[in-house]
Chain A
Amino acid sequence: MRKISLLAMILVLVSAFSLAACSNSSSGEKASGGSGEEKDGKGNTTLRFATWDSGEALKIQQDIAKKFEEKNPGVKVQVEAYGDGFDQKLAASFGAKNPPDMMYMWNFPAYSESLEPLDAYLEGDTEMDMDDFYQGLFNYSSMNGKIYGMPAGFTTRVVYYNKDLFDAANVPYPKDGWTWDDFQQIAKKLSDPSKKQYGVGIVPEPDTYDLQGLVWSNGGSFISNDGKEVKGYMNSPKTIESIEILSNLLKKKSAVLVGGKNQQSGDDIFKAGKIAMWESGIWPLAGFKEAKINFGTVEVPSFGAKPAKGVIASSAVSVAKDSKHKELAYKFVKFYSSAEAIKMRTADLPVRISVVKEMNMEQDLLISPFYKMLERSTDTPAFLLNSNWNEINRNLSAAVNAVMLGQDAEKLLNKAVQDSEKYMKK
């Protein structure tokens, strides 16, 4: 009996000890757990992905990133939305040698030196069917024969028209193959300055990139095909003529300036039914549908018999040269251009032929002009032809902006050429 009671005492003591120890260790753990949260305890690899998108388009990209995480356990994709500070933030991160592993990319001349060429990865990848992509898109993500980004989405530019306004003015809807003469006439008919209604909206400070389709359609160009000459191209009569079309529309009050500083955007004014025609990419399409606008899309007009030309705005996904997980980053890029991911991207147009066929997009009357314009987008944009295009473009933009305010196009473009000569490599 005595032994038992002794044993009991020991037991009680031991349990008291162990309980005390337990509570002690658990509280210690709790405390240490708090500080450990900052590290990634599970050994996950985190990939950073920078995008300029925001809103709905950003949400889509986050969904794609999540899909990728599901398929690749242990990998976390951190989507960094740089928004309108994209260039500034990307440049800062490259400068700090801490760039995102993957990023949206369009300005390959500016960044290609910091990007990883993907050719080696693509050659070693038997699953990747390069022929399924619209080949024209690779022009936009290649530099010096090397692919620096896989196409993820793109858009061409078409003309949106408000059917209700056309119907009200008893004007037939525009059809593919129409000309700038048709355009000007229609714009005139649909303009009624007293009601603040105009045939077309024009941006006061347009991106010269977007104007290239117009210039090319007229057989003009901002720069020579070898990128070494602007004189005789930027100030050629064909170029001047095409730019003047816009300034003339404004002068004739067939057009109105929209989307300037402190102004409503052209998309909003089109939605409000105050402009009948609006030249843009795929971006506002969903918004117009949502706003229940009765609208159509049509190819851009041509200059008489000359073929209409388009320009592509493409988003590609690139891998940073300084990335620590290039293989994994390529895997992400590959997934991003896979049919599965492309189908999730509803904010712009599929880059894979098979996906377009599967989804019958060419039969969609609103979408088909975009693909027709893709076929017309065979010219190489100026920024890919000259590495000093940024500087040259400043002069060109100043000239174009002043032209939009009613000044003489020929004089200003000549001046722009003159001011740009110093940037030309001879």
Chain B
Amino acid sequence: MRVEVIKNMTKKIKNQLYSSFRIKLMLFFIVVALIPLLLFGYLSYQKSSTIVNRQFNEYENFAVTQLENQLENTINQMFVVSNDIHQYLSDPTLIVIKEEIPRTYEGFIEKKNFERFLEAHKTFNTKGIYLITSSGYYYGGNHLNSKKLFQMPFWKEASQIKQGEHWIGFYHADHYDSSKPPEPMIGLVLPIQSQYGILKGSKLLIETNAEELFSYITYLERDVHAFVTIDNEVGKVIYRTEAKREPLSSDVVRVKNIEAYGWKIEIRVPKKLFYQSSAVIFNYTLLGIFFLIILAILLAIVFSAPLAKRIRKLKESMERVSLGELQTQIPVKEHDEIGKLTISFNQMVQQIKELIDEIGETERLKRQAELRAFHYQINPHLLFNTLNSIQWKARLSNAKEVQQMIYHLTEVLHENLNFSDELISLKKELDTIRHYLKVQEIRYGHMFEYQERVSPECLEFLIPRLSLQPLFENIFFHAFEDGQGIIELTIEDKSDLLELTLSDNGKGMSEKTALNLLNDHSSNEKARGIGVYNVDQRLKLHFGSEYGLTIESEPKCGTTFKIRWPKRRVNNDQSHSS
């Protein structure tokens, strides 16, 4: 049941969809616009996202490489410096620190020399190089506050390392007497291996400003949304991005090892963020496609509306025509396909109108003929009975000729007044003509000659009643004088039609007269040739306008009537025979 409903619905929608030309056109526009659009959208998305991702990778690579180089250089530098200083301190020919805290002239000279030595090892980013004794006194400037330093977590951690080891790490230097916020530092702590008691427990601290290092880390964290982890050689975390996020397996991970010190830098970028830029491009492409679809719809509406309007107009006109408004004509403005269609439609309507007018006229004529027929039919019995009585009286009076005449006349009239069958066999028609000729013979005497050449197989074909008599009448009235002349009747079988030729050797007539004979004279009944016209019309009515009567005549050279009509047998036309 539900399936039915859905089927119906889809059918309805389908109908709706296919029934509107405008919707079809719109769909066409959209499809045409969408194919290249999707293609180019896809291509441009692919291309640009590839480029962006590659660039992103390059930036990230650059930053990571910078970080790595910077870190490596810094650590290297600090190592070299620490080794150098350590060497210097363990060489008694170079330095003799006899007092932990200088108090004498010599002590101050040693201190100054040593501090000069330390100073010479500073580079651009070196914050300080200090030799810090266990009591908190230090060599190397005046700015350090060793009390604060001893409280620093990193120092506490670094103090626990054994001799021969070193500590390297990041921290914020909060051990300076300064109003400035603590600066990020990378520091190296090295316990001094001293055979002299004074420096026992002393540590060398080398601090390098790590702002630049952190700027790379910050760049990675902020601009690349990376999570940076730096592990030292024993796997201890030296730096880790502060984030409330667990590492995911989908992250894009990059691991770099600083081989010299076994440090490991891990850069972890969430996949989503890694492909963020291409996602943006994707969204824009989608947006572009969306707007283009709207554009396509608008264009389809704009361009299909007039087209659809014209077709709708055509359809409306057709509906009007089907309702009978045959005078409908559509103005043609453009000569494209629809224009041509409109012209054809206009022509068709015109033709239909003409055809209908013609049919109307034919029907009118038929009705008229029928009316007339009724009129003639009024009382044939009276006439026949009277004529029979006269015939009998003539026979009784032995007026044989009169009796013969009336007999033939009665036969002719009988045919003339018979309206039952419109089509009769050729044989019957020829019989009637023979009776008619008998009447004429009695009238005029043996003045004319009648020759009949009819093949017997033609006799069964049908011909409209009284088709020949008017032609004979025309011959007797107009062609012959006092009934004198020769009449020839030939009927030929021309495969699919019959041709009847009736010629005389009478006066003949002009072409104009001949044409006039075939024209309508219904308004003037007394005019000559109404019978001939009727014959032609009746043939055309029965068999179609391509059949009918033709006249060939020249004055003084006789006249030839030719009738052509299709073969039709009695059994072919049951309605007529019954």
Contact = CB atoms under 8 A, between A and B. Distances in A.
A79 to B, nearest CB: 15
Given A261-B146, A398-B105, A2 B336 contact: yes
What's the dominant secondary structure at chain B's contact region? helix
Given A12-B299, A85-B126, A92-B123, A398 B109 contact: yes
A5 B296 CA distance: 12
A294 interface: no
Nearest to B139: A261
Contacts of A1: 306-307, 310, 334, 336, 338
Interface string B36-68: 110011011001100110010001000000000
A20 B38 CA distance: 10
B124 A27 contact: no
Interface string A8-33: 11011101110111011001101100
A401 B51 contact: no
Given A12-B295, A16-B37, A92-B123, A24 B44 contact: yes
B292 interface: yes
B250 interface: no
Interface of chain A: mostly helix, strand, loop or mixed: helix
Contacts of B102: 401
B229 interface: no
A124 interface: no
Interface string A331-343: 0000000000000
A187 interface: no
B289 to A, nearest CB: 9
A188 to B, nearest CB: 26
Contact of A54 (B105, B142, B180): B180
A34 B59 contact: yes
Given A1-B307, A28-B51, A84-B141, A9 B32 contact: yes
A81 to B, nearest CB: 10
Contact of B48 (A8, A19, A23, A93): A23
A246 to B, nearest CB: 16
Interface string A69-99: 0000000000000011100110011000000
Nearest to A203: B142
Interface residues of A, number: 50
B288 A23 contact: yes
Contact of B281 (A27, A92, A402): A27
B126 A5 contact: no
Interface string B94-124: 0000000011111111011100100100111
B147 interface: yes
Interface in A269-284: none
Contacts of B32: 9, 12-13
B40 A20 contact: yes
Contacts of B47: 24
B360 to A, nearest CB: 39
A86 to B, nearest CB: 12
B394 to A, nearest CB: 87
B303 interface: yes
Interface string B243-261: 0000000000000000000
A248 B402 CA distance: 198
B48 A28 contact: yes
Contact of B43 (A5, A20, A54): A20
A34 B55 contact: yes
A19 B288 CA distance: 7
B88 interface: no
Contact of B52 (A31, A54, A262): A31
A265 interface: yes
B136 A262 contact: yes
Contact of A402 (B52, B103, B124, B303): B103
Nearest to B183: A83
Contacts of A105: none
A35 interface: yes
Interface in B352-366: none
A339 B299 CA distance: 70
Interface in A255-275: 260-262, 265
B120 to A, nearest CB: 9
A416 interface: yes
Interface in A110-136: none
Contacts of B116: 394
B5 to A, nearest CB: 38
Contact of B104 (A8, A30, A407): A407
B108 A397 contact: yes
A1 B25 CA distance: 13
A4 interface: yes
Contacts of A251: none
Contacts of B329: none
A402 B111 CA distance: 12
Interface in B137-154: 137-138, 141-147
A399 interface: yes
Contact of A8 (B29, B106, B112): B29
Given A2-B336, A12-B296, A262-B146, A23 B108 contact: no
Contacts of B307: 1, 5
Interface in A366-418: 394-395, 397-399, 401-402, 405, 407, 412, 415-416
B285 interface: yes
A35 B55 contact: yes
B528 interface: no
Given A28-B51, A85-B122, A20 B109 contact: no
Contacts of B281: 23, 27
Contact of B124 (A11, A16, A92, A419): A92
29 contacts: A8-B302, A12-B292, A13-B33, A13-B36, A16-B33, A16-B36, A16-B292, A19-B291, A19-B292, A20-B41, A20-B44, A23-B41, A23-B48, A24-B44, A24-B47, A27-B51, A27-B284, A31-B48, A35-B55, A85-B126, A88-B119, A88-B122, A88-B124, A93-B124, A262-B146, A394-B113, A398-B112, A402-B103, A416-B105
Closest 5 CB pairs of A and B: A398-B108, A20-B40, A27-B48, A24-B44, A12-B33
Given A23-B41, A92-B124, 12 more contacts: A12-B29, A15-B292, A16-B33, A17-B36, A17-B40, A20-B41, A23-B281, A84-B141, A395-B109, A398-B108, A398-B112, A412-B105
